């Protein structure tokens, strides 16, 4: 065995070249500062003998010193050491090089035997663990077999079903279980579908109606792309201080330049949408009251689609972010609960318009994707682009994911992409004063 006390392995090299191996109960200070006079005399006599032998043979001899305790641990060397009296300094004796080498080799051999014994013990433990595992697996296999036989015996038991005005029919318990499972699953699916369609009938009806009359939807989209709806036009005509988006023949207003509606709006010709754009208050956002921000957004969704607070405005560098409902509870207030039910019909290359603060902005879709509801990277604000994002819940009637439609702002006339700080080509029409009806 290898001693655990590191002091037993510490040797002292004397000035004359001798090596002293301390005993177990000998302190480091005593071994470094004290020397036994008897050992010193022995050492001098031994050195004289070795010098005479080295003179005759031409070899050098090294004297090794060990303590009595160390010699007792190495019984294989056949060296005797006188026991030191209790309380006195341990006795020492001198060893020849061959004896010291043999002593060290015996220590290595003991360590090797200890390591081999530990490895054999580990191998034996692993074998026992593997045997236990094999036994446990066999036991589990037999238990599963017995359980399988019991279950199969129960499910294969015959059951007679008595029917009215018919002979009894024989079934097994397993067949009845499968029939009941299928019947329950179909009933649950039917009830879930009915409730789901009832809660979201407005959104699904909007989708079905647009697909049932595709020609009329295309014509409505073309009309919406060229003019503003009739209700808004009639409202503007009644306001003499406002310009109108349209031509009223025969009066002075028909020669004024076209302007947008008095409120902010988003017009998507492909979806036949012309809806108000609502911007909630920024007070809760500045106070970092996120619950209040969500409440403001939900309240604003009752009046149209929402410009998300804190995002860029149309024409600015950043991300003009707009969100709207694809479906909502039918008893909830508001007339825009399904405004984005058909947003998935938009494709890359489609265009839509935004009237904001009296200015008209044109956007072209460049990307469409779905993200998780927890993904907030869609709100990032780039500083080198003018982009816009339309967002709604998907699939319709759920809040599992978010549909993201990304667009870039382009020139309203030329259709070229606008860089940051660049203005579109708005050129006022040239009027002939002589043709004005004055």
Domain boundaries, the chain: 6-106, 159-199, 260-410
β-bridge partners, 266: 275, 354
Instruction: Indicate if the alpha-carbon torsion angle 208, 212, 214, 217 is positive or negative.
Output: negative
* Alpha helices for 200-271 (secondary structure H): 201-212, 214-226, 230-237
Lowest mean pLDDT among 244-248, 334-338, 416-420: 244-248
Summarize pLDDT for 116-147 with one digit per residue, the tens: 889 999 999 999 999 999 999 999 999 999 99
Summarize pLDDT for 218-227 with one digit per residue, the tens: 555 555 545 4
pTM exceeding 0.75: no
Averaged over 168-185, what is the pLDDT? 89
CA distances for 239 relative to 251, 264, 290, angstroms? 14, 18, 40
Q: Identify the pLDDT of residue 389.
A: 96
Helix (H) or strand (E) holding 102: helix 97-155
Report the alpha-carbon distance of residue 99 to residue 205 in Å, rounded: 104
Q: Which of 266, 279, 424 is nearest to 352 (CA)?
A: 266
Report the alpha-carbon distance of residue 425 to residue 35 in Å, rounded: 106
CATH number for the domain formed by residue range(s) 260-410? 2.40.260.10
Summarize pLDDT for 58-100 with one digit per residue, the tens: 444 444 444 444 444 544 444 444 444 444 444 555 557 777 6
Averaged over 276-295, what is the pLDDT? 91
Whether the per-residue pLDDT at 105 is higher than 90: the answer is: no
Q: Which of 272, 270, 299, 295 is nearest to 284 (CA)?
A: 295
Higher-pLDDT residue of 321 and 30 is 321
* Bond prior to 395 in cis (omega within 30° of 0): yes
Dihedral Cα 184, 190, 191, 192, nearest 10 deg: 100
Dihedral Cα 326, 331, 336, 340, nearest 10 deg: 10
* CB of 314 closer than 8 Å to CB of 356: yes
Extract the tokens encoding 358: 């009296």
Q: Identify the pLDDT of residue 421.
A: 79
Higher-pLDDT residue of 336 and 215 is 336
Report the alpha-carbon distance of residue 379 to residue 166 in Å, rounded: 68
Burial 386-408 (b: 16+ CB within 10 A, else e): bbbbbbbbbebbeeeebbbbbbb
Dihedral Cα 148, 149, 154, 160, nearest 10 deg: 120
């Amino acid at each position: 065995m290898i001693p655990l006390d590191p002091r037993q392995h510490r040797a002292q090299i004397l000035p004359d070249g001798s090596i002293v191996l301390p005993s177990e109960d000998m302190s480091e200070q005593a071994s470094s500062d004290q020397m036994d006079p008897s050992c010193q005399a022995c050492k001098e006599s031994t050195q004289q003998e070795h010098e005479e032998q080295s003179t005759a043979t031409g070899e050098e001899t090294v004297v090794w010193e060990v303590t009595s305790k160390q010699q007792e641990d190495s019984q294989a060397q056949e060296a005797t050491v006188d026991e030191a009296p209790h309380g006195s300094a341990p006795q020492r004796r001198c060893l020849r090089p061959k004896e010291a080498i043999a002593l060290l080799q015996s220590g290595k051999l003991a360590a090797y035997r200890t390591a081999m014994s530990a490895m054999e013990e580990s191998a034996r433990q692993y074998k026992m663990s593997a045997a236990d595992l094999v036994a446990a697996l066999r036991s589990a296999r037999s238990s599963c077999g017995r359980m399988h036989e019991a279950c199969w015996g129960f499910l294969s038991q015959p059951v007679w079903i008595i029917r009215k005005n018919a002979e009894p029919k024989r079934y097994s318990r397993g067949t009845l279980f499968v029939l009941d499972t299928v019947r329950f699953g179909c009933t649950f699916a039917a009830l879930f579908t009915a409730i789901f369609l009832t809660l979201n009938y407005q959104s699904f009806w909007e989708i079905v109606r647009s697909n049932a009359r595709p020609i009329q939807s295309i014509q409505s989209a073309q009309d919406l792309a060229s003019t503003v709806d009739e209700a808004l036009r009639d409202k503007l005509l009644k306001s003499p201080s406002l310009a109108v988006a349209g031509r009223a023949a025969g009066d002075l207003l028909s020669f004024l330049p076209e302007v947008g509606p008095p409120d902010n709006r988003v017009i998507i010709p492909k979806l036949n949408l012309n809806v108000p754009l609502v911007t909630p208050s920024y007070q809760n956002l500045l106070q970092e009251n996120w619950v209040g921000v969500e409440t403001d957004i939900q309240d604003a969704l009752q009046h149209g689609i929402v410009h998300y607070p804190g995002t860029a405005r149309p024409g600015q560098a950043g991300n003009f972010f707009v969100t709207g409902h694809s479906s909502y509870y039918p008893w909830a207030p508001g007339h825009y609960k399904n405004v984005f039910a058909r947003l998935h019909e938009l494709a890359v290359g489609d265009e839509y318009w935004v009237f904001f603060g009296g200015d008209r902005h044109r956007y072209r879709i460049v990307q469409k994707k779905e993200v998780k509801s927890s993904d907030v990277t869609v709100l990032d604000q780039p500083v080198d682009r003018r982009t816009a994002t339309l967002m709604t819940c998907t699939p319709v009637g759920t809040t599992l994911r978010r549909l993201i439609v990304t667009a870039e702002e382009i020139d309203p006339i030329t259709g070229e992409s606008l860089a940051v700080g660049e203005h579109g080509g708005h050129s006022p029409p040239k009027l002939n004063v002589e043709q004005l009806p004055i």
